[in-house]
Structure 1
Amino acid sequence: MKKHRAYLLFFLCVYSVAQNKQILYGFNEIPQSLLLNPGAEVSNMGYIGVPLLSHVHINGGTSGPTVYDLFSANGVNFNEKFRSVVYNSDSRDFLSANEQLEVFSGGFAIGNTFEKTEYLSFGVYQELDVISYIPTDYIELALEGNQNNINRVFNAGDLSARAEVVSVFHLGYNKKVNSRFNYGIRGKLYSSVVDIDATKNKGSFTTRRGTNNIYEHIFNLDMQVRTSGIASLTSDDNSGFNEDLKEISKRAFFGGNLGLGFDVGFTYNITDQWRLDGSVLDVGFISHSKDVENYVVNGNYVFEGINPLFPDVANGQSAQDYWDALKEDFEDLFDVDTTGTKYTTWRPIKFNGSLNYTFGKKKKKDCDCTTEDSGYLNAVGAQLYAISRPKQPQMALTVYYYRKLFEGLSLKGTYTLDSYSFYNLGLGVAAQLSGFGFYVMADNFLQYENIYNAEGLSLQLGFNYIFNKK
């Protein structure tokens, strides 16, 4: 039963379908922008997020094949399309999905009576993060077999994936030092609900001409899947769905495997119109010691195939003895060792940085002149984003245009180059009426015409009550 669970976890890791929030970053009218830069300039005296609706984020994509590549009705045989997808993919191509749901959040300014230059923010959010690389060597071996790949070294490390569900409790501090400089820091406590990690796989498989048989097959394997929070939910002693929900709820609120982390960020106004800002997020770890179950395959083996002549028949070996010995050899090689060894995972560190230019002050109707304290209505800029991933960092470059249409309504349009697409257009809208704020954001609009051929899609929305500065 343990072996079957291990194979199931491998399958789920590989075939589960980035977290860049380029539209929200720097959109300072929205309180949740502090989650992306704890040192952003704060434009309110306080806010309260609508529980479960203050920030909803869904993002998914692929750097390789899309659903349309496999299932389009273009008259091409599915087998041919599948082969084309495989041979045009790279082992660094991936599928990823990210979801965030803010349970509750809030913030308020502190300081002296006349000038409140400090700001505290807090909240809890739940996050799902999945990434799976395409195991091209595995798929090509399954398609072609090994007879046509003599002496080719197939990389066992192509199997690389991880998935996690975690709750994050956070408290942030923002300080306005002067008119030019802001900084901030946010502490985080992570409570892991479920974790699956298959990113430490190494090894190879090679077929070559044999000496005692036609071929010999060489296995050099160092494979493992580490899990926490899975074993109790899939065990034979599981009490049922209701008990699972209670257990998951407990883990989400300090009952899971715990970890610590922090975010830091700053904003520096170079001039009245030029601004530089940046942040580093999720510098932290989670220690997994509860409900841990790991699956390990480790060993070196040379298998010379099935010999039609039993080599020890002269010594009394029967056919049954030969097959029993062969079976034991395979079981020794591929036996999955189950352990409860605790482990530590590092959070995917994220980096944001942008350079911005503001222009265009509002003019008074009666004198055709600008108001000095109204701020600028327009902004343009460029933002760089990066996130650490198991095989290599993912990066994105965004240019944007921001426009404050009138008091209470702002727009931001973006164009992004990333791992998914070179033509990602996005749009965000933030509106506020009598203190009640709403925002909605989406990107990859050019791919909505054929959503099955989209490399990536993202949606964000939220509701807050905001206490504005007078």
Structure 2
Amino acid sequence: MRNRILILFAFVSVLCYGQNRPLLYNVDDLPQALLQNPGTRIDFTKHIGVPFFSQIHLFAGSTGVTAHDIFSDENSNVNQRVQNVMDRITSGDYFSVNEQLEVLSFGWKMGSRGYFSAGVYQELDIFAYFPKDPALLAFEGNAEYIGKSFSFSDANFTGEVLTVYHAGYNYKVDPKLSVGGRVKLYSGIFNAESTQNDGFFSTVETPGGPNFYRHELDDLDVLVNTSGYASLKEQDNMTVDQAVAELLSRSFFGQNVGLGIDLGFNYRVTEQFAVNASIQDLGLMFHKNDTENYHYFGSYSTNGLEPLFPELDGNERTIPYWEVFEEQLDANLKEETTYNEYNTWRPLKFNASFEFGTGKSILPCDYLISKKPRFMNLFGMLVSGVNRSKGPTYGVTAYWDRKVTDNLRFRLAYGVDDFSLTKLGLMVSSRFKNFNIYLAANDIIGYTNLAKANSASLQFGMQFIFKDL
């Protein structure tokens, strides 16, 4: 079981490089804005996405360390490079990957005030805190840390792949207020999580004792829950390609389900000033099928081996010290593999922003407000975040949104978050008759040297958008 825990943890750590998508938030002529705030204002009456291409979102980020820190040629001593990273990174640093592929997206105006939208998307979300104490103990040992307690609670990660079926409704309450909600059905493909670990390892001096030091492992309690994994490992000689094919076969109807909701609103305080907010993925996954749990727990204290050297004749065995030690470990440190059901909360996302418009223009169509005043320049600030097992991660973004023509729009953004203090982003959306295409890239400065970048984000999509006159 210990090997399985190490394999799972290594899998998550190697894959990982929050997610913050400010470039499409509150963009009123893109349907993807409804996924971030179902209550946002929109100015189209129907849309249908190009299957599998209406939204492709990729995000990877790492706080505290970059690929350049480990693989740079500036220092030929790889051990020293790793040591430098170990000295700098903390248990609060984390690695995150998020991918979202919109399989199907469509929507249409309902009555004079409503807009219905629905679709299907696949999402991968991996998040892992850096296991500072276990990594320090494994890399440096305990010789220089006599009296220090190494905490196993630093080992904390989640990873999931799922398909989301959703349907939402946006409603204009009055000329100033629009609200919306979205219901989601989650279909789980794969899940692994370990977020409630505990226990300490320490080495203490024992003057006058049977040895100079005593090693103590106190109240160890490590639990790794998985779903969708047990059936993969049970198949002998399964290759990576076969495992991927098996996971893809579950893409539309996974073995576990969950429910969630999104809620949001937009309120125009004055003609030029508006505020809005939303929450996404307030939901729960129920893991009941293909589950496997690995539990390692117990306490143990040892003063080390105390060899004896009795006189033995030719037929007597020497004392099997190592076998005795292993028996003591097995008696005090337990490992169990169970198949219990478990539940996990989806990572709750939240957004809040204000926006100020200048350069009034009149657009001919808006199902919310006929002949709505439209401002060619929008200046806004967005606070967004994701709730994680040790607390929320935040990002703040200021942006300038410019409507160049009825068919061309761009947004320039500057953000600050855990990954970077200089996050520059750009979104461009262009429409050719009813066909729309958009591209959004965040942390553009990091693209000049991805090895030194702490994060990278890219969104791309195409769809048909209609504005009935």
TM superposition score category, shorter chain reference: over 0.9
Q: Matched residue of 1:35: which SS?
A: helix
Matched, 1:152 2:151: no
Equivalent in the alignment of 2:366: none
Q: Matched residue of 1:319: which SS?
A: coil
Question: What aligned pairs does 1:224-263 form with structure 2 within 5 A after superposition?
Answer: 224-237=223-236, 244=243, 247-249=246-248, 251-263=250-262
1:395-435 Cα distance to aligned partner (Å, 9 max, x none): 00010001000111001010000010000000001111110
Q: Is the 8 A contact 1:354 1:382 kept in 2?
A: yes
Question: What aligned pairs does 1:26-425 form with structure 2 within 5 A after superposition?
Answer: 26-75=26-75, 77-111=77-111, 116-210=112-206, 211-220=209-218, 221-237=220-236, 244=243, 247-249=246-248, 251-309=250-308, 319-362=318-361, 375-425=374-424
Q: Is the 8 A contact 2:186 2:259 kept in 1?
A: yes
* TM-score (normalised: structure 1): 0.92
Q: Matched residue of 1:19: which SS?
A: coil
Give the direction of change, closer, same or farther, for the CA distance of 1:397–1:302 in structure 2 (3 Å limit): same
Q: Is the 8 A contact 1:107 1:121 kept in 2?
A: yes
Q: Which moved more, 1:85-94 or 1:354-363?
A: 354-363
C-alpha separation between the residues in 1 aligned to 2:95 and 2:259? 27
1:22-73 Cα distance to aligned partner (Å, 9 max, x none): 0010111111110000001121111000000000000001111101112222
Q: Matched residue of 2:136: which SS?
A: helix
The one-letter amino acid paired with 1:80 is Q
Indicate the percent of aligned positions where both proteins have the same amino acid: 38
Q: Is the 8 A contact 2:13 2:95 kept in 1?
A: no
C-alpha separation between the residues in 2 aligned to 1:441 and 1:260? 29
1:201 deviates by 1.0
1:373 deviates by 5.2
The one-letter amino acid paired with 1:218 is E
Q: Is the 8 A contact 2:124 2:161 kept in 1?
A: yes
1:446 deviates by 1.4
C-alpha separation between the residues in 2 aligned to 1:72 and 1:244? 33
1:269-296 Cα distance to aligned partner (Å, 9 max, x none): 0000000000011000001111101111
Give the direction of change, closer, same or farther, for the CA distance of 1:89–1:459 in structure 2 (3 Å limit): same
1:143 deviates by 3.2
Equivalent in the alignment of 1:367: none
Q: Which moved more, 1:65-74 or 1:380-389?
A: 65-74
1:62-99 Cα distance to aligned partner (Å, 9 max, x none): 11110111222224532222111111111010111100
Q: Is the 8 A contact 2:300 2:329 kept in 1?
A: no
C-alpha separation between the residues in 1 aligned to 2:125 and 2:331? 35
Q: Matched residue of 2:5: which SS?
A: helix
Q: Which moved more, 1:198-207 or 1:30-39?
A: 198-207
Q: Matched residue of 1:193: which SS?
A: strand
Structure 2 gap ranges (5+): 363-370
Matched, 1:447 2:446: yes
1:104 deviates by 0.5
Give the direction of change, closer, same or farther, for the CA distance of 1:243–1:455 in structure 2 (3 Å limit): closer
Give the direction of change, closer, same or farther, for the CA distance of 1:258–1:209 in structure 2 (3 Å limit): same
C-alpha separation between the residues in 1 aligned to 2:75 and 2:82? 13
Q: Matched residue of 1:277: which SS?
A: strand
Q: Matched residue of 2:32: which SS?
A: helix
1:214 deviates by 2.3
Q: Is the 8 A contact 2:300 2:333 kept in 1?
A: no
C-alpha separation between the residues in 2 aligned to 1:208 and 1:454? 41
Q: Is the 8 A contact 2:298 2:334 kept in 1?
A: no
The one-letter amino acid paired with 2:90 is D
The one-letter amino acid paired with 1:213 is N
Give the direction of change, closer, same or farther, for the CA distance of 1:14–1:449 in structure 2 (3 Å limit): closer
C-alpha separation between the residues in 2 aligned to 1:238 and 1:341? 26
Q: Indicate the RMSD between aligned Cα atoms, in angstroms.
A: 2.1
Give the direction of change, closer, same or farther, for the CA distance of 1:246–1:148 in structure 2 (3 Å limit): closer
Give the direction of change, closer, same or farther, for the CA distance of 1:358–1:340 in structure 2 (3 Å limit): same
1:385 deviates by 0.4
Structure 1 gap ranges (5+): 364-371
Q: Which moved more, 1:69-78 or 1:387-396?
A: 69-78
C-alpha separation between the residues in 2 aligned to 1:239 and 1:398? 45
Equivalent in the alignment of 1:366: none
Q: Is the 8 A contact 2:299 2:333 kept in 1?
A: no
C-alpha separation between the residues in 2 aligned to 1:323 and 1:247? 42
Q: Is the 8 A contact 2:58 2:459 kept in 1?
A: yes
C-alpha separation between the residues in 2 aligned to 1:174 and 1:246? 37
C-alpha separation between the residues in 2 aligned to 1:456 and 1:381? 23
Give the direction of change, closer, same or farther, for the CA distance of 1:80–1:320 in structure 2 (3 Å limit): same
Give the direction of change, closer, same or farther, for the CA distance of 1:83–1:246 in structure 2 (3 Å limit): closer
Q: Matched residue of 1:336: which SS?
A: strand
Equivalent in the alignment of 2:458: 459
1:242 deviates by 8.3
Q: Is the 8 A contact 2:38 2:182 kept in 1?
A: yes
Q: Is the 8 A contact 1:14 1:159 kept in 2?
A: no
C-alpha separation between the residues in 2 aligned to 1:379 and 1:236? 56
The one-letter amino acid paired with 1:331 is D
C-alpha separation between the residues in 2 aligned to 1:246 and 1:68? 33
C-alpha separation between the residues in 1 aligned to 2:242 and 2:127? 28
The one-letter amino acid paired with 2:192 is I
C-alpha separation between the residues in 1 aligned to 2:254 and 2:385? 31
C-alpha separation between the residues in 1 aligned to 2:335 and 2:269? 59
The one-letter amino acid paired with 1:440 is L
Q: Is the 8 A contact 1:14 1:160 kept in 2?
A: no
1:245 deviates by 5.9
